[in-house]
Amino acid sequence: MGEVDCVFCKIVSGAIPAKKLYEDDAVVAFDDAHPAAPIHFLVIPKIHVDTLDDVGKEHAPLLGRMLVVAARLAREKGVGATGYRQVINCRKAAGQVVYHLHAHVLGGRDMRRMG
């Protein structure tokens, strides 16, 4: 499992503590350490995949699982009815900082403007 220096792999393994919002055999969700909105959490796969560009058709069920978990947690956090944003940044120019595939879920404020 995972890359030795990957912070998200260390969260998955328990080497770095995180307040997990959800966990199953495929994904983990936890609050973002640097939130950009009142509701801001991440959904990550337990397997290490660097970027969205590195997924193949074999990852389709995993990507679907990530989206289902993100929507469920958004509803549980009270932003399902008002609206939320899901973002997957891919590489540096798009703002990816941690090279382990992850989806940001943001809500609790007007998200109609970027940023």
- Which residues have a Cβ under 8 Å from the Cβ of 86 and sit 6 or more positions away? 67, 70, 103, 104, 105
CB 105, CB 42: distance < 8 Å: yes
Catalytic pick among 34, 48, 100, 102: 102
Question: Is 34 one of the catalytic residues?
Answer: no
Q: Give the catalytic positions in this structure.
A: 102
